[in-house]
């Protein structure tokens, strides 16, 4: 009888536990969310109740993404935003605040890469990748923090880093990209400490290899190398966009209210050996 009573109590408590993952009434800005992993995370946040502002340099992609979220019952707006442009970022965040009455979450997802042996890497390409991957995180984070500090509100920043910030990509020829992702990891930890007195949490997600158009191209170019990379993942596959859904909801929600300065690696065990 006592066992049944305990089981019944646990069942009654479960909905309360799950509620801390809900994001009803909150607003998130997600950069680079017109397609791919950014869109997948934006869609996951919307399903948890978040109102979404999608920033992307490609307006058509941003509008299509917003329409897709709206078609499933979510609330989303789109804007063409270059995250390296301070004025555009400021205007975009103001647009999100005006549209939804505030802002609670920032996902710094926008990023680019390219391939080149480092000894042949053009300075222009180095600066372009650095400007988007690090500069975009700088521009968006400081504008979000200014709003939260001035309004005396808490906030959650989720930076999208990469396992490339911890390990070199053998065969990747993208050391400049790895450098920026290592910078994102360091910036995440530093800002978490700096902004903790303002109740602004700063965390990061570090994805491993995911099935994307880029990895699909690698499969077509060098199938043996592609298969070798897959074989190095203990779980036996590359990640898929839904594999990030739980992580972004956790870090955005009150379920992680005491978590800041953390980098959550999602790589199928790739960096575990």
Active site residues: 177
212: Cβ contacts below 8 Å, ≥ 6 apart: 36, 37
Cβ–Cβ under 8 Å, residues 21 and 255: yes
SS3 (DSSP) at 123: helix
Residue 204 CA to residue 218 CA, distance in Å, equals 26
- Distance, in Å, from the CA atom of 50 to the CA atom of 227, rounded to the nearest integer, reads 38
Task: Please name the residue that has the structure tokens 């990379």.
Answer: 229
Helices (H), 77-169: 86-100, 123-130, 136-151
End-to-end CA distance of the chain: 47
Instruction: List beta partners, residue 54.
Output: 30, 78
């Amino acid at each position: 009888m006592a066992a049944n009573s305990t089981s019944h109590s646990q069942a009654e408590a479960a909905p309360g536990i799950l509620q801390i993952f809900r994001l009803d009434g909150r607003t998130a800005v997600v950069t680079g969310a017109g397609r791919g992993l950014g869109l997948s995370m934006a869609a996951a946040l919307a399903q948890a109740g978040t109102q979404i502002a999608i920033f992307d340099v490609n307006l058509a992609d941003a509008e299509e993404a917003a329409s897709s979220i709206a078609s499933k019952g979510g609330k989303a707006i789109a804007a063409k935003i270059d995250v390296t442009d301070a004025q555009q970022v400021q205007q975009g965040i103001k647009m999100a605040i005006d549209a939804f009455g505030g802002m609670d979450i920032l996902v710094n997802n926008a990023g680019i890469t390219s391939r080149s042996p480092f000894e042949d890497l053009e300075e222009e390409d180095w600066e372009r990748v650095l400007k988007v991957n690090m500069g975009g995180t700088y521009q968006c984070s400081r504008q979000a923090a200014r709003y939260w500090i001035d309004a005396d509100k808490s906030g959650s920043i989720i930076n999208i880093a990469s396992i490339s910030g911890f390990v070199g990509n053998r065969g990747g020829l993208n050391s400049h990209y790895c450098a920026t992702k290592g910078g994102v990891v360091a910036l995440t930890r530093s800002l978490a400490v700096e902004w903790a007195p303002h109740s602004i949490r700063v965390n990061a997600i570090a994805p491993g290899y995911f099935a994307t158009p880029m990895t699909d191209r690698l499969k077509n170019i060098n199938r043996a190398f592609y298969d070798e990379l897959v074989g190095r993942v203990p779980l036996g596959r590359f990640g898929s966009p839904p594999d990030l859904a739980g992580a972004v909801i956790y870090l955005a929600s009150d379920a992680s209210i005491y978590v800041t300065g953390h980098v959550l690696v999602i790589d199928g065990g790739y960096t575990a050996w």
